[in-house]
Amino acid sequence: MDDSVWRELVEQLRGSPYRSGVISPDAPVHRIGFEPGLTDAEVAATEARFGFRFPPDLRAFLQTALPRGKNFPDWRSGGESALRDWLDRPRQGLLFDVQHNGIWLKEEWGPKPRTLDDALRVASERIAAAPKLIPIFGHRMIPDEPQLAGNPVFSVHQTDIIFYGVDLADYLRQEFHLPGGPPRPEEEHARPIRFWSWFVS
């Protein structure tokens, strides 16, 4: 995607209002701010520190300008432990559902182990081998594989995983109610993602 598209999206997003958490008429309104985009060195340091690679379109967006505001990850100066916990939420949520709700994908993971400890171990191994989900805003996340532009954005809450955009630009326009842009493609045209697409209903 041409860099001008990201510059246009940044300008449309700048100052956009949004609410977070439990939405009610008296919920506080936040506005999106931006800092200068991440440098090549900052991108490389972030990827090395957290063990993932930004997909090309997310990298291009974050290098155009770094969004700031409640529920946006701060890849430049955010606390490392908080960012690691954010990155670990998909694993935590999935294991919660295995432990408390009996979730098990028999066709994909094989027969369910007899003990809970073994089930949690196998599920953890499957998650560790899956593409990493990188937070964009709150629990909206994008997979780091494949290393191509156009990966879908998921809304991830435990194993309740749904498409929230067929790609990053589509997601940003939908989440923040931006005008214009091309017609939204159908969700069935979203790229399937190893492991995570199993949970999308």
Kindly report the backbone phi and psi dihedral angles of residue 38, in degrees, each rounded to the nearest multiple of 5, phi listed first: -65, 140
Q: Is 163 within 8 Å of 154 (Cβ atoms)?
A: yes
Q: Helix, strand or coil for residue 141?
A: strand
Helices assigned H by DSSP within 36-157: 40-50, 56-64, 80-101, 106-109, 116-129
139 within 8 A of 157, measured Cβ to Cβ: yes
Sign for the pseudo-dihedral over CA of 89, 92, 97, 102:
positive
Report the alpha-carbon distance of residue 81 to residue 199 in Å, rounded.
27
Residue 156 DSSP one-character state:
E
3 state DSSP class of 78 = coil
Q: What is the pLDDT of residue 21?
A: 65
pLDDT of residue 77: 95
pLDDT value for 135: 98
- One digit per residue, pLDDT tens: the chain, 201 residues? 678 989 999 999 999 998 876 667 778 899 999 999 999 999 999 999 999 999 999 999 999 999 999 999 999 999 999 999 999 999 999 999 999 999 999 888 999 999 999 999 999 999 999 999 999 999 999 999 999 999 999 999 999 999 999 999 999 999 999 987 666 767 678 899 999 999 997
Give the angle 179-180-182 at the CA atoms, nearest 5°.
140
